[in-house]
């Protein structure tokens, strides 16, 4: 079967995408790769490309750059396409030499370190207050936001949170044995207001075991025993939009770190809470090496007189 055939038959495309996503262990990676490949194949078909070759992928890279995507986003999408080509070759759907050509398409270099996004204390409070807590969904969503702002959890960690994780240690509530990135296990203290938000959600929902966060249907009733990490992302984006913020779920983790540091928390304790392997990663979250409050440009002594 030629490489052209891959992109002409919808069933074959879906089978290839499935091969790629099935080879991934991380749920987040599966979702990201599926999205990347869906977008690429839609572009491929709409532009009338003639083959899944190196030149085609290079053209797509230029297309993504023209849309203003960040280097990290483009590189992730290119990784998914490379994986697609490899799976196609391994399954006899594409010439191995052509697949190797696709694999040699270089990614986009990042210029410096992105500062990222975070909320001020007042903005974070607005976000936390945004859900309508007269509804079951609103109570759940407030609890999700409370855990993310109050403990700095990743969205995948929020989705995986169980009642067994919430325990008391040394007179306070903590999340114990939380498995994070790199399979690192940590204990995460949570503030009393986050525990209160969890309790009000779970008591109203009538649940006391298993996953803490679960799907709620349009009738404002429980609709399952779990929640995906993408659903957690959707919750954040929903209320961020209501508040007029441009925000992703990971920005709440950064907000936690920023507010904790400004409140006087020790850098090493923030590192332990976030589960970072290196303190340098925590410093990047905090911008420790760059003071945006008292910057060099503030002392230049220049002004506009007209």
Residues with a catalytic annotation lie at 154, 181, 250, 253, 276, 285
Q: Which domain holds residue 248?
A: 121-286
Same domain membership, residue 275 and residue 188: yes
Q: What is the CATH number of the domain that holds 72?
A: 1.10.150.130
Task: Count other C-beta atoms under 10 Å from residue 185's C-beta.
Answer: 10
Same domain membership, residue 127 and residue 95: no
What are the mean pLDDT values of the chain's consecutive 10-residue runs (306 residues total)? 43 73 78 87 82 89 85 88 87 84 86 65 93 96 95 93 93 89 86 95 96 96 93 94 89 90 86 81 66 55 57
Q: Per the structure block, which two tokens stand in for 301?
A: 């002594």
Any domain includes 304 = no
Phi and psi for 187 in degrees, rounded to 5? -110, 130
Please identify, among 75, 103, 131, the residue that sits at the C-terminal boundary of a domain: 103
The pLDDT tens digits of the residues spanning 67-97 come to: 877 787 888 899 999 988 888 888 887 888 8
Same domain membership, residue 175 and residue 85: no
Any domain includes 301 = no
Same domain membership, residue 195 and residue 65: no
Q: pTM of the predicted model, to two decimals?
A: 0.61
The pLDDT tens digits of the residues spanning 193-226 come to: 999 999 999 999 999 999 999 999 999 999 999 9
DSSP string, 179-246: E-GGG-EEEEE--HHHHHHHHHHHHHHT--SSBS---B-TTSSB--S---HHHHHHHHHHHHHHHT--
Same domain membership, residue 36 and residue 127: no
Q: Closest by alpha carbon to 85, among 38, 126, 43, 37?
A: 37
CB 143 within 8 A of CB 133: no
Q: In the prediction, which pLDDT does 27 show?
A: 75
Same domain membership, residue 126 and residue 73: no
């Amino acid at each position: 079967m030629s490489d052209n055939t891959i992109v002409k038959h919808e069933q074959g495309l879906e089978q290839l995408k499935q091969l790629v996503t099935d080879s991934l262990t991380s749920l987040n990676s599966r979702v990201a790769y599926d999205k990347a490949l869906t977008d690429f194949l839609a572009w491929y078909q709409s532009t009338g490309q003639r083959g899944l070759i190196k030149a085609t992928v290079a053209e797509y890279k230029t297309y993504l750059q023209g849309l203003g995507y960040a280097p990290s986003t483009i590189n992730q999408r290119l990784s998914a396409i490379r994986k697609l080509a490899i799976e196609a070759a391994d399954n006899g759907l594409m010439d191995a030499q052509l697949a190797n050509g696709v694999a040699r398409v270089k990614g986009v270099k990042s210029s410096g370190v992105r500062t990222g996004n975070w909320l001020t204390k007042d903005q974070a409070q607005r976000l936390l207050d945004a859900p309508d807590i007269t509804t079951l969904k609103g109570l759940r969503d407030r609890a999700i936001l409370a855990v993310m702002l109050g403990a700095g959890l990743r969205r995948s960690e929020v989705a995986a949170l169980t009642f067994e994780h919430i325990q008391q240690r040394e007179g306070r509530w903590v999340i114990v044995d939380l498995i994070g990135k790199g399979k690192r296990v940590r204990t995460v203290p949570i503030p009393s207001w986050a525990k209160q938000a969890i309790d009000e959600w779970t008591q109203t929902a009538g649940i006391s075991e298993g996953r803490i966060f679960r799907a709620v249907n349009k009738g404002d009733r429980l609709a399952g025993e779990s929640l995906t990490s993408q659903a957690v992302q959707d919750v954040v984006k929903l209320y961020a939009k209501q508040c007029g913020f441009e925000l992703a779920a990971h920005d709440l983790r950064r907000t936690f770190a920023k507010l904790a540091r400004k409140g006087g928390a020790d850098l090493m304790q923030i590192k332990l809470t976030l589960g970072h392997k290196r303190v340098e990663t925590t410093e990047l979250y905090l911008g420790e090496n760059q003071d945006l409050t008292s910057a060099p440009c503030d002392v230049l002594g220049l002004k506009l007189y007209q």
